[in-house]
Structure 1
């Protein structure tokens, strides 16, 4: 990696390097991940939006929940009290009002203020102590209205106000939780719990594609590099060292990895050229830009189903079959790597595709391809010149069923759903980074796929054996009688 970096710096060619997407979640290379609830706001996912896209509301917001009910300062409390007084007495206007009505209005102001800013505070405000003294004075003034010399309506108002004040404990030193603080805390913890539960589904025990994934002692990668014209041995525009290191990282500790390289050219292989031409398609694809405008783009792509069928026909004739194709202890994975000058994708949107019996990869000269994804208001650029990341993701899916981090199976919906929060980290399955190194979590998932397949097939064998034994008639009773 250091030599590669030095080479790029000396050449001063930075066209292959794009700005990384800044995120507030991350999955490390080992078994760890983190969430920074104080960072952001960040957004990423498909530019067209949709369910599961990472937005400003995807993670619990401390400032808008718990932080929104933080205790105010003395100066802020004084300002809010004055605002409440002005708002309340603005209703009175210039009209003459009875003294009892003015007292009741003042009590309403202090009561509301106390519930919001005095009751349950950890650090008591000096203003609240002043209001406590003022409330005692107001209580004495209300008691003066109980005399017979006052009108009955005024006496009734005073009695109701005094009765309401009897059970007040607004300015006490006893700490009681704010109701709004409790609701905010519970809302925050509920959202945080849902986020952590999502991390379990996407990181620790992610969903895998449907299928049986067997463990083999050896993995043989058959690399078919297909160019338009025949190239010299040292002119292949592929970082073979990085590719083989990435493919080797997919193995389990006791597995052995083998590589076999084949270089083919369409100009010298008519059958392969025909397969490529038959599978090649073009389509007008609408693209939503991050500024909200649409743009129609014409994409050249390979239809994976047609190409697979054509390559299978060539394989049946033995021209593309590897030496370990019939071995029971070796898994042979053909990787067809098409190198093309003009921008070329697979099935309109992909750089690599995992199929049932092969992996197809396309490589083009374009180093900055504007994808359908966005991050923090900017388009995510793909380097079509270096599809190692996409290739490793496709091989991982073919090998053990690993899926992109934003996909997970929902039992409630009985289908796959998207959640882009955890599409992070320097792995082949993340859309927010150019890295392609598998984490320990993903290697654990590969091992889990092997174990699950082995257990399921073992259960089927045991059940088959039990079924056969049930249909068999035993002679144990005859043997017992003969022995007697």
Structure 2
């Protein structure tokens, strides 16, 4: 908590607090249901005197997440959680089970981060040997100590900080696992016992908050342009005075976004936050211009006059028809064979 407030994870105006609520597992029927429905088993083969098959249990994190999401209101009532209207709440579910066997999430994890929650579990088993080795020695995991994995999971869910052993590969178009940078000061991975954060995680946390705000501003500006295009363009929608003010706001909005991106590139997060929050005023003004201008639009129906009667074409058609009847009536005289007269 001290490192979060003093170490620079929070930006201007932000605050972070942790509230602890506990529920007795025996009195929580939905807790028992969630654990029992999420338990799966797998078989491992070990070589002692001969090959031995051992059946172990683990918790399916996706199924547990689904049950917890569907029963969020029941957990809120059981724990007596107050309503939070103007803050983001990240629930962290820690299951401390009275179980004598090792029980991990997805076979390997003590804690897993989701977009809307963090799930952690521990049993009476104090430590276990994982599948990794360092300098030829087995790596032990202290399963009762959840502080470090919880710090990493909260970083993932709240700030979008990816684990230090995951990197993106353009060649493979997927993430690659590399534990080179997960040995020192990091809350991620099995090769470190330190829960404090390095400057890499701190900068990534603050940068992700600003990038999220920048993405929201750009998306909202695109909505403004789409709305203008739907009403026939800026020249048709906005009056002359409104068009001048809208253009000024638009240019100022773009200038502030450019300054925010420049400040981000220099790791000046306070200045970037200042420009992003200042650009919100210009964005609001542009939305107001478009809204008020669209309210002044009136629909009108233009009726075309009936065309004049085509006397010339009718007269010509009538004359042609009379000529045809005349020729038809005089056909015997006009087309009689001259040789029959003699």
CA shift at 1:478, angstroms? Answer: 9.3
Residues 21-75 of structure 1: CA deviation (Å, up to 9, x unaligned): xxxxxxxxxxxxxxxxxxxxxxxxxxxxxxxxxxxxxxxxxxxxxxxxxxxxxxx
1:453 matched to 2:226? The reply is no
Q: TM-score, normalised by structure 1?
A: 0.44
CA shift at 1:441, angstroms? Answer: 1.4
2:33 matched residue in structure 1: 274
CA shift at 1:381, angstroms? Answer: 0.3
1:252 matched to 2:22? The reply is no
- C-alpha separation in 1, matches of 2:218 and 2:8: 27
Select the residue among 278, 295, 313 that pairs with 2:70.
313
- C-alpha separation in 2, matches of 1:259 and 1:428: 19
Structure showing greater Rg = 2
- C-alpha separation in 1, matches of 2:37 and 2:139: 31
- C-alpha separation in 2, matches of 1:447 and 1:302: 33
Q: Contact between 2:141 and 2:190, CA under 8 Å: does it hold in 1?
A: no
Return closer, same or farther for 1:477/1:374 CA change in 2, 3 Å cut-off. Answer: closer
How many residue pairs match? The answer is 232
Q: Contact between 1:354 and 1:395, CA under 8 Å: does it hold in 2?
A: yes
1:179 matched residue in structure 2: none
Return closer, same or farther for 1:461/1:429 CA change in 2, 3 Å cut-off. Answer: same
- For structure 1, the 5+ residue unaligned runs are 1-243
Alignment of 1:170-319 (within 5 A): 251-254=9-12, 255-285=14-44, 297-317=54-74, 318-319=76-77
CA shift at 1:405, angstroms? Answer: 1.4
* Root-mean-square deviation (Å): 3.0
CA shift at 1:479, angstroms? Answer: 7.5
CA shift at 1:377, angstroms? Answer: 0.8
Alignment of 1:83-482 (within 5 A): 251-254=9-12, 255-285=14-44, 297-317=54-74, 318-319=76-77, 322-325=81-84, 327-328=85-86, 330-340=87-97, 341-342=99-100, 343-473=102-232, 474-475=235-236
Alignment of 1:11-90 (within 5 A): none
Q: TM-score, normalised by structure 2?
A: 0.61
Structure with more contact order per residue of length (Cα contacts < 8 Å, sep ≥ 6)? 1
Q: Contact between 2:179 and 2:189, CA under 8 Å: does it hold in 1?
A: no
Instruction: From the two aligned structures, give the one with the greater helix fraction.
Output: 2
CA shift at 1:335, angstroms? Answer: 0.7
